[in-house]
Amino acid sequence: MTPRMRAIVDFVDGADTAADIGCDHGRISAALIEKKRAKRVFACDISEQSLQKAKNIIAGRNITGITPLISDGLGALEGKTVGCIIITGMGGLLIRDILAAGIGTAKKANQLILGPQGNEYELRTFLYRNGFTIKDESIVKDAGHYYQVIAAAPGEGPPPQEVYLHFGYYPAMRREPLQKEFLQNRLRELESIISRAKQGKDTQEYLAVKRRLRDQVMEVLRCL
C-alpha cells in the first residue's frame, strides 16, 4: 500500500460494514478486510468495467467479505447499513457532490473517511454546513505530493479558522513535523502567486484573499 492508502485504512475504526466508493483497483477494500479494519466491505464503482480491477484483486488474494457493487456515488448503498464510507482518489469538489447527492445515506454512517485531491477548503466547508463535523485529519507525503485525509462524522460543531479549513486543524495542533513542511510549501506557493499576480480590480480582491491566507499560514507556522 502507498502511504496515502495506509493513512486512509488506519482511520477506519473497526466497522462492521464499510463502503469504498470509487474503489478502482480495490486495494483499500482488500486492506480493510486483511487488516481487520472492517468485517464486510462494499467495493463500489460506477461501471462493471471499473469494478473489474477490484474483482481481480479479490479473486487473486482469495478474499472473502468484499461485495463489488456498481454504484453511481452512494446510490447503491441506499437501504443498506454501512458504518464507514470511504471516498478517496478524486477531487474535493466531486467528493462534495457525491455526499450532497447521497446526504441521507452519508448521515446514517458513523464515519466518513475522505481523501480529496484538491479543493479541501470547499469540502471541509460543505461538511460543517451540512451537519457533519471533522473528528481527525492526517497529512501524508506520497511520491513527492502532500495529501490531506479527513475523518468526519455526522454531528454539529463550529468550523475552525479559515486556514484550518484549507490545510487541516488536527495535524497542526499535534505539531506534526510533516504539517510544518506542508505549510511551508503552501506558504511558498502563496508568496509566488502574490508576487506574480497582475494588477486590476478583480485581481486586488483575489490578492486580498491570498494575502489573508498567507498571513494566517505564517501565524500557524510560528506555533509549530
User: pLDDT for 160-182, tens place per residue?
Assistant: 999 999 999 999 999 999 999 99
Cα–Cα distance between 24 and 46 in angstroms, integer? 9
Cα–Cα distance between 13 and 151 in angstroms, integer? 10
User: pLDDT for 115-142, tens place per residue?
Assistant: 999 999 999 999 999 999 999 999 999 9
User: pLDDT for 22-31, tens place per residue?
Assistant: 999 999 999 9
Cell numbers that stand for 15 in this block: 466497522
Q: Are strands 38-45 and 66-70 parallel, antiparallel or unpaired?
A: parallel
User: pLDDT for 27-66, tens place per residue?
Assistant: 999 999 999 999 999 999 998 988 999 999 999 999 999 9
Cα–Cα distance between 2 and 187 in angstroms, integer? 26
Q: What is the pLDDT of residue 196?
A: 86
Q: What is the pLDDT of residue 7?
A: 97
Q: What is the pLDDT of residue 11?
A: 97
Q: What is the pLDDT of residue 206?
A: 87
Q: What is the pLDDT of residue 184?
A: 98
Q: What is the pLDDT of residue 160?
A: 95
Does pLDDT of 201 surpass 60? no
> Which of 199, 172, 221, 18 has the alpha carbon at shortest distance from 110?
18
> Which of 208, 111, 220, 112 has the alpha carbon at shortest distance from 168?
220
User: pLDDT for 83-119, tens place per residue?
Assistant: 999 999 999 999 999 999 999 999 999 999 999 999 9
User: pLDDT for 177-197, tens place per residue?
Assistant: 999 999 999 999 999 999 888
The answer to whether the beta carbons of residues 105 and 139 sit under 8 Å apart is no
E-state strands within the chain: 15-21, 38-45, 66-70, 84-90, 111-116, 132-142, 145-154
Does pLDDT of 81 surpass 60? yes
The secondary structure of 182-207 as a DSSP string is: HHHHHHHHHHHHHHHPPPSHHHHHHH
